[in-house]
Amino acid sequence: MSLSSDPPKFRVAICGAGIAGLFLAITIGQFAGRDIHIDLYEARDAITTAGAGVGISRRAAEVMVELGLYEKISQISASPPSSSYGRRMRKSDAPNGGFEWFHYISKTLKQGFNMHRQELVDILKQSIPSSCTMHFNKRLTKYEKQSSGSLALYFADDSTSITDILVGADGIHSPVRKTLFETIGPDIIDPSKIRHYSDPSWTGTLVYRSIFPAEKLLKLDPNNVAVKDFVMFCGREKHIVSYPVSRGTLINVVAYVPDEQKTGIPFEGHWVSAVSQEEVMKAYQDFEPNAKRVLDYSSQCFENPSRWALHVLNDLPLFTWDRVALIGDAAHAMTSHLAAGAGQAIEDAFVLGRLLAHPLTTLDNVPTALKAYQDVRLSFTQFVARQSERTPRLMYDFCALGGNEQEEMEVLKEKIVDLLESWVSEGEGGAVAEWVKAERQLQEGSYSGWCENSAT
């Protein structure tokens, strides 16, 4: 780390001030000090976030510990992070009454917790380092590589900027990803595959989202299973997720209605729109009273619930090229069935931030550092995305049930537990272990480069 009077070793531009971009800026600032100048570009006029609830796994919690943020962030969770992380699984497609299928208590997620997304972002905003300059109302349209190797950034307001390294943390619609694949060259990427990699794909699933005061449910229906616990109301071809956030004062509700026949076709209309309470209730008219009351109360608290067309990215062949990298939803937007998207973005940001801040990383060997990030993160994030995608189809929506329902539900239970445990323990043991592996790769690459230069 240099003295504050020394010039930075390079400039990093981060497009997108969401969870991924904020964690990246914090990581670089904490481990590089003022060695690296950060420009954080946000398309809107303030740092805000879409959605409500966010799940934090053990892996993401490890990153928070490393950054000194764990205690502060865990204080806004719905339950103490030391408590067991679990969820109540109910069979709910019974109009006259469902039943608790099983109560899952995780063996590996004991540090995990749920929270309100905006509250997490508000804490992260307070930790933005002094080496970071914020730029609002800056929506990137494209970038171009200059003859010097630097990158020219072009924004929708006709302004431009120059940077040494560009990180796309700009979400599923990422202009950074679009430009990367459009300009990478036919010797690397088949031109017929550019749209496949740059454009999001509709899953065929519609998601209804709402959030309401827990006090309302407690007053009107004090014995409802959703008052205090993470609950999955499961049914054939649809399910509802409900869990407390904001220290238990709010209940986040997410209801899924999939249509596999529409998977992959373009979605017509706005991805996010307000809908009537009647539309939501009609979709779950065959569900148990517990579930319908949660939907009813959540709709009553707002003029209209929102409907989201759930989109994902196809698996990308790479996350980096030259001095450009993708993180978070810009690299691997996934379904929300495992509540893993935000956690994977946090892990991306930590590994990449540590690599860029490393004393061995210079402007000359930035591609080596970015390659180390890609090598430890790409395969694991895509594994998580695949696990998340198969979760509702094979498990929660009971599509596999046939003859002996009781026996088959027991088999499904075992599969669900295996799936929920496997993704968080898969890979190299966590983000910190992945960082160690990436650092070793950076060291080996830097040593090889030093030997080659010495030989010449």
pLDDT digits (tens, 9 = 90+) for 365-424: 999 999 999 999 999 999 999 989 888 776 666 766 666 778 888 888 888 888 777 766
Mean pLDDT of 153-177: 98
Mean pLDDT of 334-347: 92
Highest mean pLDDT among 79-83, 109-113, 439-443, 447-451 belongs to 439-443
Closest alpha carbon to 59 in 112, 97, 101, 116: 112
Mean pLDDT of 429-449: 85
Least confident span in 285-299, 307-321, 420-434? 420-434
Q: Which long-range contacts (CB under 8 A, 24 or more apart) does 120-124 make?
A: 120/19, 120/54, 120/73, 120/76, 121/18, 121/19, 121/22, 121/47, 121/48, 121/49, 123/69, 123/72, 123/73, 123/76, 124/19, 124/22, 124/23, 124/26, 124/69
pLDDT at 220: 85
Specify whether the CB–CB gap between 355 and 372 falls below 8 A.
yes
Residue type at position 172: I
Q: In this structure, what token pair is assigned to residue 322? A: 């030259």
Reduce the DSSP state of residue 213 to 3 states and report it: strand
pLDDT at 19: 96
Predicted confidence band of residue 81 (pLDDT cuts 50, 70, 90): very low
| Each residue's pLDDT tens digit, 208-265 | 998 888 888 888 889 898 988 889 999 888 999 998 888 888 899 999 999 989 999 9
Number of C-beta neighbours around residue 325 at 10 A: 33
pLDDT for residue 82 is more than 50: no
pLDDT for residue 83 is more than 70: no
pLDDT at 149: 95
| Each residue's pLDDT tens digit, 186-198 | 999 999 999 999 9
pLDDT for residue 443 is more than 50: yes
pLDDT for residue 455 is more than 60: no
Specify whether the CB–CB gap between 354 and 67 falls below 8 A.
no
Which is more confident, 296 or 170?
Answer: 170
First vs last Cα of the chain: how many Å apart? 30
Residues of the chain above pLDDT 90, percent = 61
| Each residue's pLDDT tens digit, 33-76 | 999 999 999 999 999 887 678 888 888 989 999 999 998 988 87
Mean pLDDT of 294-311: 82
Predicted confidence band of residue 87 (pLDDT cuts 50, 70, 90): confident
Reduce the DSSP state of residue 13 to 3 states and report it: strand
Residue 160, beta-bridge partner list:
154
What φ, ψ does residue 185 adopt, rounded to 5°? 105, 140
pLDDT at 3: 46
- Please report, to the nearest 10 degrees, the dihedral formed by the alpha carbons of residues 207, 208, 212, 217 taken in order: -100
- Rounded to 5°, the CA angle 311-319-116 comes to 50
Predicted confidence band of residue 319 (pLDDT cuts 50, 70, 90): very high
The mean pLDDT of the chain is 88
Which is more confident, 82 or 419?
Answer: 419
Residue type at position 375: D
Reduce the DSSP state of residue 318 to 3 states and report it: coil
Closest alpha carbon to 39 in 125, 122, 136: 136
Q: 291-311: b or e for each residue (b if 16 or more CB lie within 10 Å)?
A: bbebbbbbbeeeeebbbbbbb
